[in-house]
Amino acid sequence: MPSAANAKCEKPASSEATDNSPIRQVMTILEHKIRNLEKRKSKLTSYRDLQKAGKELNGDQRVAVAKYDEVNQTLEFARELSKQVTAVATVAEREAKKQAKKDAWVRYTAETNKIREVLLVLDCLMQMGNTEAREDFLNGTNGAAKLTEQDLKILDDL
């Protein structure tokens, strides 16, 4: 029998989480790294303050305090890298939107041309019902190609 404790609580996906492009994945990784480095820097700052206050730190804490500058530099590097990746992502998204708009225009133009061709053919076939045009095609006069009665019947069937 399922219980409420066994139910999985899934949080709704954000718009960034649903975009699994490689650049978005890199941005997510950098955000996590920055958050972890900020936590570590905060902890090291508290150890440093304790050390300045004269409290004795154990060996691991002293080693950690010695790495404060390294953590701070890594944090600054990660922030700068995150800004650059965000800028690249913005440019890439802008270019993708431009390309999508261009592709949509090309499709629209192609469809419009197809419709134009169909309408021209339809108009030609409708003109074949005109007796003067029919006579011109049967006789090959007024610039019309000479067609047989059978050819005209085939066109009528269309």
Q: In the chain, what percentage of residues exceed pLDDT 70? A: 87
Q: What pLDDT digit, counting tens, does each position of 19-62 carry? A: 678 989 999 999 999 999 999 999 999 999 999 999 998 999 99
Buried b / exposed e along 41-68 (16+ C-beta atoms within 10 A): eeebeebeeeeeeeeeeeeebeebbeeb
pLDDT of residue 152: 79
Cβ atoms of 133 and 142 within 8 Å: the answer is: no
Segment among 64-68, 93-97, 138-142 with least mean pLDDT: 138-142
Band of the pLDDT at 155, cuts 50, 70, 90? confident
| pLDDT for the residue 4 | 52
The domain limits of the chain are 15-113
Mean pLDDT calculated for residue range 124-130: 79
pLDDT at 70: 96
* pLDDT of res. 18: 53
Please check the confidence at residue 2 and state whether its pLDDT lies above 60: no
The rounded percent of the chain whose pLDDT value lies above 90 is: 59
Cα–Cα distance for residue pair 134/156, rounded to 1 Å = 11
pLDDT at 120 over 70: yes
Q: How far is CA 97 from CA 29, 50, 61, in A?
A: 25, 53, 51
Q: Rounded to two decimals, what is the model's pTM? A: 0.59
Q: Does residue 10 register a pLDDT over 50? A: no
**What average pLDDT does the structure give for the chain?**
86
